Structure 1
Amino acid sequence: MNAVFGVIFHFIGGFASGSFYVPYKKVKGWSWESMWILGGLFSWIIVPPIAAMLTIPNFAEIIKSTDNATLGYTFLFGLLWGIGGLTYGLGVRYLGVSLGSSIILGLSMVFGSLMPSIYYFFNKAEGKHGIDYFFTTQSGLCILLGLLVCVLGVYLCGKAGVSKEKHLSTLSSESKSDYNFGLGIVVAIVSGILSACFNFGIESGKPMADVANILWKSANPNQGEFLYQNNVTYIVILWGGFTTNFLWCLYLLIKNKTFSDYTKSDVPKGKNLLLCALAGTTWYLQFFFYGMGESRLGNGASSWILHMAFIILISNAWGVVLKEWKGVDRPTYRSIIAGIVTIIISICIVGFAKTLEN
């Protein structure tokens, strides 16, 4: 049952992440940096400690008692992930929700799932799999197969994106206003690689999660692993993410003189603020449920692959719902649908792989 609940939690987290940008698309009269930093305040600063307080009442003491090296590395990976998250927003802006998310998260899935296993191959740790695990066990081979199938799905989505660019003349002015495949693909590659640092941050901050887990298990014996143990780690990772995004958005607000966005009289300020708060809170929920899924499946490749695959799946589904592919020819539309179906198959393969461990 742990595997089943783990997959369900990762689906909910993936749905949250794949959906978070939708409210931003409804913001009127504000620049990208104006809405991004407001949403980020909820994602990185406001919601995480509230979630930790509700689930780990002594989270502040755990952070204070953690050694500087653990905090430093966790914060550093948060900084790097913050650049990935920052460019994620730009990638979605230039490529659209479905294509941008597919490329960015596909790269993040590959790097985030394989890089830690390479590290643990040379630095053995209890409960952690080295890269050899993928080639010497049934479960590992199945996970690797699921990863390769998901990469194929991402390729099909990317192929659809290239084809879409050739048919921009048939799209509405709103659909093609920000679309820029050349710039978008560069941003997406940078974002995809650096977004994997979130998984590295979870690994670095594991001692904090372990303390929360031990305290909970001592108070709740024989009830399995603590579902919310990672909520304390997220706080430090997201501090790093906030630092990167805040500095960049502040630069843009000054450079583009867009501070005035917040005082414009002809924009729905209250509605915009609520939409940004909704987007930011929704983005945080992906971490909240990822932690729950990870507590059931373990913080290995299967958790990261499932999480990324669900995000790609939901993002592409939103792309279809939002008619980002409206006006393209049938082969292009078939390609994006084939990509979505392929990713669904990869999710099933990775979910099945986890059952082989038992």
Structure 2
Amino acid sequence: MNAIAGVLFHFIGGFASGSFYVPYKKVKDWSWESMWILGGLFSWIIVPPIAAYLTIPNFWEIIKGTDSSILGYTYLFGVLWGIGGLTYGLGVRYLGVSLGSSIILGLSMVFGALMPAIYYFFNQTPGKHSIDFFFTDPSGITVMIGLLVCIIGIYLCGKAGMLKEKDLSGSTNVVKGEYNFGLGITVAIVSGLLSACFNFGIEAGKPMADVANNLWKAVNPNQGEFLYQNNVTYIIILWGGFTTNFIWCLYLLIKNNSFSDYSNKKAPLGKNFLLCALAGTTWYLQFFFYGMGESRLGNGASSWILHMAFIILISNAWGVVLKEWKGVSKPTYRAIISGIVIIILSICIVGFAKTLE
């Protein structure tokens, strides 16, 4: 039951992450930086402490009692992840929701899943899988198979993107908009590598989650692991993410004189504010449910792979729903659909792996 519940929680988190950019696409007459930083205030500053307070009332005492080195590393990984999140928005902007998310999150999935395991190979820690687990244990081998299958699905999504570019460049009936494969792929690679730092941040801040978990278990004995233990760790990680994004967006707001967006009477201000708040809150929900899924599956490669795979799946599904592939050739459409199907298969394989432990 724990495996099923964990997969379900990761699906909900993946749905939230794969859907968060959709409200942004409805924002009118605002620059990218205006809507991104406003949504980010909800993602990184407003919603996380509210969620922590509702689930861990003494969360601030846990933070104050944590060693400064743990807080520092957790914050640092948040800063690096923030750069990945910042460039994620640009990658989606230039590649579209489906293709941009596939490439960025695919790279993040691979690095986020394997790098901690390599670290634990050289620094053995009870309860943590090192890289040899994925080549010697039946469950670990199955996880690796699922990861490889997912990479194939990501490759097909990327291939579909390149075919799409050819289709659009040769068509006079399709508007390309901001689609730019060259610039988008560069940004996507940087974003994918740095986005993996969120998982590193969770690892660095695990002592805070352990305190929250132990306090809850003392009051609720024999009831398993605390579903919301990571909510205290997220606060520090997201402070780091906010720092990066705030500095960049402030620079763009000043450079482009975008502050005027917030008083632009031609723009639907109320609607834009609500859409940004919805987008930001939805983005945070991915972390909220990731923590719940992790409490059932463990903070390891399986949780990270499932989370990323679900996000890629939902992002590509939104790409189809939003008609980002409208007007492309049949081979291009078959490639993106095949990629989606194979990613679904990889999710099933990784979910099955947890039953073998």
| TM-score, normalisation: structure 1 | 0.99
Shift of 1:263: 1.0
Equivalent runs, 1:260-271 vs 2, <5 Å: 260-271=260-271
1:84 aligns with 2:72: no
In structure 1, what is the Cα distance between the partners aligned to 2:61 and 2:112? 29
Rounded Cα–Cα distance in structure 2 between residues aligned with 1:33 and 1:177? 18
1:119 aligns with 2:144: no
Aligned to 1:190: 190
Could you tell me which residue of structure 1 aligns to residue 301 of structure 2?
301
| TM alignment of 1:1-358, pairs within 5 A | 1-169=1-169, 170=171, 176-357=176-357
Aligned counterparts of 2:20 and 2:321: Cα–Cα separation in 1 = 14
What CA distance in whole angstroms lies between the structure 2 residues aligned with 1:221 and 1:171? 66
User: What is the deviation of 1:168?
Assistant: 1.1
Runs of 4+ in 1 over 6 A off after TM superposition: none
Alignment check: 8 A CA contact 1:108 1:194 kept: yes
**Which amino acid counterpart does residue 147 of structure 1 have in structure 2?**
L
Which segments of 5 or more consecutive residues in structure 2 lack a partner in the other structure? none
**Which runs of no fewer than 5 residues in structure 1 stay unpaired?**
none
CA-to-aligned-CA distance 1:172-201 (integer Å, 9 cap, x gap): 66x511100000000000000000000000
**In structure 2, how many angstroms separate the alpha carbons of the residues matched to 1:278 and 1:130?**
38
Spell out, residue by residue over 1:23-66, the C-alpha distance to the aligned partner (whole angstroms, 9 max, x if none): 00000000000000000000000000000000000000000000
Mark the CA change 1:25 to 1:236 in structure 2 (over 3 Å): closer, same or farther: same
Q: Output the CA distance in 2 between the equivalents of 1:337 and 1:123.
A: 41
Cα distance in 2 for partners of 1:241, 1:176 equals 31
Matched-pair identity in %: 83
Shift of 1:257: 1.2
CA deviation profile, 1:221-241 (whole Å, cap 9, x unmatched): 010000000000000000000
Give the counterpart letter for 2:248 in structure 1. W
Contact 1:171 1:327 in 2 (8 A): no
RMSD: 0.8
d(CA) in 2 for partners of 1:263, 1:298: 47
Summarize deviations over 1:67-100 as a string: whole Å, max 9, x none: 0000000000000000000000000000000000
Amino acid at match of 1:350: V
Question: How far apart are 1:133 and its partner, in Å?
Answer: 0.4
Q: Matches of 1:92 and 1:182 in 2, distance apart? A: 13
| Deviation of the 1:256 alpha carbon | 1.1
Report the residue type matching 1:70 in the other structure.
I
- How many residues are paired up? 356
Alpha-carbon contact 1:171-1:326 (below 8 Å) kept: no
Which amino acid letter does the alignment assign opposite residue 240 of structure 1? G
TM-score normalised by length of structure 2:
0.99
Q: Distance in 2 between matches of 1:167 and 1:249?
A: 34
